[in-house]
Amino acid sequence: MTKKSGHNFQEDLRKIEELFSESFNKTENSYTISIRNEKINSVIFVEIIPDEESTYLISVYTNNTHLQLQSCSNMLISEMLEEAVFISETPEKISGLIISKQGDCSLYSNVDKRLLSSDFSGLNSEKLLAAMALSITETIN
């Protein structure tokens, strides 16, 4: 798993390429990659646009969806989970855009950070799903 910082952004892009067995295309303002899963006939198009404040805008396009995560400040690449997790956070809230090698994409937005370290047995099913999915981000703090 890697954490994004100014000096390893290119390394994180390389690890994402390895994870998804695809290559980024660099345009004037962005990095784009198409993630394909032939088994389920899925294509996810991801665009990463660097902002001036050393954050990123992440856009995900599928056949019927457009997701966007602004102010992305960290990314985690997990070979074990076969996922890339893009993170945007404030002191109290966290949002995560998760893209898996299997062609799945999930967005959890404005999740209370206290949920990530709470007793999961006390959460309703929807909050439990978000807390479990984003609990991996606790490793970067």
Domain annotation covers residue 19 = yes
Residue of 141, 53, 55, 40 whose CA lies nearest to 100: 40
Confidence (pLDDT) at 85: 94
Is residue 2 domain-resident?
no
Asked whether residue 107 is assigned to any structural domain, the reply reads yes
- Within a domain: residue 129? yes
**Is pLDDT at 2 greater than 60 in this prediction?**
no
Q: Which residue range forms the structural domain that includes residue 109? A: 9-140
Residues 27-45, buried b or exposed e (16+ Cβ, 10 A)?
Answer: eeebbbbebeeeeeeeebe
Beta bridge partners of 107: 97
Average pLDDT over residues 107-112: 93
Band the pLDDT of 4: cuts 50, 70, 90. very low
Interval 57-83 mean pLDDT: 92
pLDDT tens digits for 10-41?
888 999 999 999 999 999 999 999 998 888 88
Q: Is residue 28 part of a domain?
A: yes
Q: Quickly state the pLDDT bin for 140 (edges 50, 70, 90).
A: low
Number of domains the chain contains: 1
User: Global pTM?
Assistant: 0.86
The model's confidence at residue 87, banded by pLDDT at 50, 70 and 90, is very high
